[in-house]
C-alpha cells in the first residue's frame, strides 16, 4: 500500500515538474505571444508606487528620525539617483542575458529593499532601503517599454507605452493618497508594506506570464563594449533631442513633488493626507493625458503629440506662476495648474520615449536605459536643490517649473532641424 502511494506521489510530483519545465521553456522562446498589457502595467507600477508612497510622509519622517529637511530629502534624491544608475545598468544586462532573468532578479532586489524599509529606525537604514528599492524596481519600468519595442512598430509601441505610462499615472494617483492616510494613522514605516505586496505579485507575473522577447542577445559585457553601445546610442540622429525634451518636463514634475509636501505642511498648514488628496488631481491629469495619448498617437503621429503636450505643460506652468504671484501658495494655485501641466506630460512623454528609443536600431534596451538615466539623474539633482530653492520662496520653485517646458520645446526643435538636413 505504502509502495503504491509513494509511486503515485512520485508520479504526481514528476508530472507537475515536467509541466513547470515545459512552461518555463515555452516562456524562454521569443516567438510566444505576449500576455495582455495589464500585466506589464502592474510590472511598471512597482517603482513609481515605491517612489511616491513615501512623499507625503517626508515631513513626519524627518521629525520622527530627528533629521533636517535637506537630510530627509536624500531619501528622494538617492532613490532617483539609484534609479538612474539602475536603468543605465539594466539595459546592457537585458541585451546580454535577456529580459526575463533581469526582471526576476531586479524585482527580488526591490523586495529586499521593501523589507529593510519596513524595519528602518534611522536615516541610514531608510536610505539603504530606498537604494535597494530603486535599483531593483527600475527593471520593470525599463523592460516593459523595451518588450513593447521588441514586438511592435514605433507608432504601435507608442500606443502601448502610453498604456504603460497610464499605469504610472495610476500609481502616482494611488500612492500619495494611500501613503498620506497610512502615514497619518499607522506611521511611515507601514508604507513599505504596500510596496512589498506589489513586488511579490509582479515577480510572480514575470515568472509565469512574461515570455522572453530578445531576438538577438549581445555576447559580451565588457566595459569598453558597453561604453561603445552608449556612445552609439548618443550619436544616433535625434536621440539626444528627444531624451532632453522628455527630461526637462520630468524635471518640473520632480521639482514639484519634492517641494509640495513641505509647502502644504509649512505654508498651507495641511497634513500628509491633505497633500495626498490634492495630489490626486495632478495624478488624474497625467492619467487623462496618458490615456488619450494611447488613443491619439496612431492618428496624430509622434511629432504632433510631443509639441501638443509641451504646449499644454507650458500653459499650466504660466497659470501656476500667475496664481502664486497674485494670490500666494494655496491648494488651488498649486495643484490645479500642475494637473494641466501633467496632462501635457501624459501626451508628450510616451511619444518622446518611443521616438527616442527607436532612433537606436541595434540596442533598444540600452537606449531605453540611457534615456531613463539622463532623466532621473537630472531629477535627482533637482530634488536635492529643492530645499535651497524653497528657502528662497515658493515663487522661485514655480519660476523654474515654467522654465522646464521652454527648454523642452527648444530640445524638441533640434530634432526638427536634423530632419530638415
Chain segment 142-173, per-residue pLDDT in tens: 888 778 777 676 667 767 777 787 777 778 77
pLDDT in tens, 51-80: 889 988 888 888 888 888 888 889 988 998
What pLDDT score does 375 carry? 82
96 has pLDDT over 70? yes
What pLDDT score does 164 carry? 81
Average pLDDT, the chain: 81
Residue 8 lies in a domain: no
What pLDDT score does 343 carry? 92
What pLDDT score does 392 carry? 86
What pLDDT score does 111 carry? 92
15 has pLDDT over 60? no
CA–CA distances in Å: residue 52 to residues 48, 60, 187, 261: 6, 15, 16, 11
For 54, the grid coordinates are 513615501
Q: How many domains would you assign to the chain?
A: 1
What pLDDT score does 142 carry? 80
Model confidence at 363, pLDDT cuts 50, 70, 90, reads: low
Model confidence at 13, pLDDT cuts 50, 70, 90, reads: very low
Model confidence at 30, pLDDT cuts 50, 70, 90, reads: low
Nearest CA to 313 among 275, 256, 270? 256
What percent of the chain has a predicted confidence (pLDDT) above 70? 84
330 has pLDDT over 70? yes
178 has pLDDT over 60? yes
214 has pLDDT over 80? no
21 has pLDDT over 50? no
What pLDDT score does 332 carry? 92
In whole angstroms, give the CA distance from residue 63 to residue 60: 5
Residue 357 lies in a domain: yes
194 has pLDDT over 70? yes
The CATH number of residue 332's host domain is: 1.20.1250.20
> Given CA atoms 88, 91, 97, 100 in this order, what sign does their dihedral have?
positive
16 has pLDDT over 60? no
Asked which of 12-16, 106-110, 255-259, 367-371 is least confident by mean pLDDT, the reply is 12-16
DSSP H or E stretch at residue 80: helix 74-97
Residue 96 lies in a domain: yes
What pLDDT score does 1 carry? 53
Asked which of 128-132, 144-148, 323-327, 330-334 is least confident by mean pLDDT, the reply is 144-148
Residue 200 lies in a domain: yes
In whole angstroms, give the CA distance from residue 132 to residue 110: 6
Residue 26 lies in a domain: no
pLDDT in tens, 350-362: 888 778 877 776 6
Tell me what the mean pLDDT of segment 296-305 comes to: 78
CA 175 to chain centre: 13
Q: Whole-angstrom distance between the N-terminal and C-terminal Cα of the chain?
A: 83
Helices (H) and strands (E) in the chain, counts: 16, 0
What pLDDT score does 421 carry? 47
Model confidence at 7, pLDDT cuts 50, 70, 90, reads: low
Model confidence at 210, pLDDT cuts 50, 70, 90, reads: confident
What pLDDT score does 217 carry? 65
DSSP string, 266-332: III---HHHHHHHHHHHHHHHHHHHHHHHHHHHHH-HHHHHHHHHHHHHHHHHHHHHHHHHH-S-HH
What pLDDT score does 405 carry? 92
Model confidence at 312, pLDDT cuts 50, 70, 90, reads: very high
Cβ neighbours of 5 (radius 10 Å): 9
Domain that holds residue 110: 37-211+222-420
pTM exceeding 0.85: no
401 has pLDDT over 90? yes
Residue 21 lies in a domain: no
Amino acid at each position: 500500500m505504502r509502495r503504491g502511494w509513494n509511486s503515485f506521489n512520485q508520479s504526481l510530483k514528476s508530472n507537475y515538474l515536467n509541466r513547470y519545465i515545459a512552461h518555463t521553456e515555452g516562456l524562454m522562446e521569443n516567438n510566444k505571444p505576449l500576455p495582455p498589457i495589464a500585466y506589464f502595467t502592474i510590472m511598471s507600477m512597482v517603482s513609481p508606487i515605491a517612489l511616491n508612497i513615501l512623499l507625503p510622509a517626508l515631513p513626519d519622517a524627518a521629525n520622527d528620525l530627528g533629521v533636517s529637511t535637506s537630510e530627509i530629502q536624500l531619501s528622494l534624491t538617492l532613490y532617483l539617483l539609484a534609479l538612474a544608475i539602475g536603468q543605465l545598468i539594466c539595459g546592457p544586462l537585458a541585451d546580454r542575458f535577456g529580459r526575463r532573468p533581469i526582471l526576476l532578479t531586479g524585482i527580488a532586489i526591490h523586495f529586499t529593499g521593501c523589507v529593510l524599509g519596513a524595519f528602518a529606525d534611522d536615516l541610514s537604514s531608510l536610505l539603504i532601503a530606498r537604494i535597494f528599492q530603486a535599483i531593483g524596481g527600475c527593471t520593470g519600468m525599463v523592460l516593459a517599454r523595451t518588450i513593447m519595442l521588441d514586438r511592435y512598430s514605433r507608432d504601435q509601441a507608442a500606443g502601448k507605452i502610453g498604456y504603460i505610462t497610464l499605469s504610472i499615472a495610476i500609481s502616482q494617483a494611488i500612492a500619495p493618497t494611500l501613503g498620506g492616510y497610512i502615514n497619518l494613522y499607522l506611521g511611515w514605516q507601514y508604507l513599505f508594506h504596500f510596496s512589498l505586496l506589489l513586488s511579490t505579485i509582479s515577480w510572480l507575473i514575470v515568472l509565469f506570464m512574461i515570455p522572453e522577447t530578445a531576438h538577438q542577445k549581445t555576447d559580451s559585457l565588457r566595459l569598453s563594449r558597453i561604453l561603445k553601445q552608449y556612445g552609439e546610442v548618443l550619436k544616433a540622429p535625434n536621440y539626444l533631442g528627444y531624451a532632453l525634451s522628455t527630461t526637462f518636463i520630468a524635471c518640473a514634475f520632480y521639482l514639484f513633488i519634492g517641494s509640495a509636501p513641505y509647502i502644504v505642511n509649512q505654508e498651507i498648514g495641511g497634513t500628509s493626507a491633505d497633500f495626498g488628496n490634492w495630489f490626486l488631481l495632478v495624478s488624474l491629469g497625467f492619467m487623462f493625458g496618458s490615456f488619450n495619448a494611447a488613443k491619439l498617437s496612431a492618428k496624430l503621429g509622434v511629432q504632433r503629440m510631443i509639441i501638443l503636450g509641451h504646449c499644454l505643460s507650458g500653459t499650466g506652468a504660466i497659470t501656476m506662476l500667475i496664481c502664486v504671484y497674485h494670490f500666494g501658495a494655496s491648494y488651488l494655485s498649486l495643484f490645479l495648474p500642475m494637473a494641466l501641466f501633467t496632462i501635457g506630460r501624459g501626451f508628450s512623454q510616451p511619444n518622446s520615449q518611443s521616438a527616442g528609443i527607436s532612433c537606436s536600431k541595434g540596442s533598444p534596451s540600452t537606449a531605453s536605459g540611457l534615456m531613463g538615466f539622463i532623466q532621473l539623474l537630472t531629477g535627482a539633482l533637482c530634488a536635492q536643490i529643492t530645499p535651497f530653492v524653497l528657502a528662497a520662496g515658493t515663487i522661485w520653485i514655480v519660476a523654474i517649473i515654467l522654465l522646464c517646458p521652454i527648454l523642452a520645446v527648444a530640445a524638441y526643435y533640434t530634432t526638427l532641424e536634423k530632419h530638415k538636413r
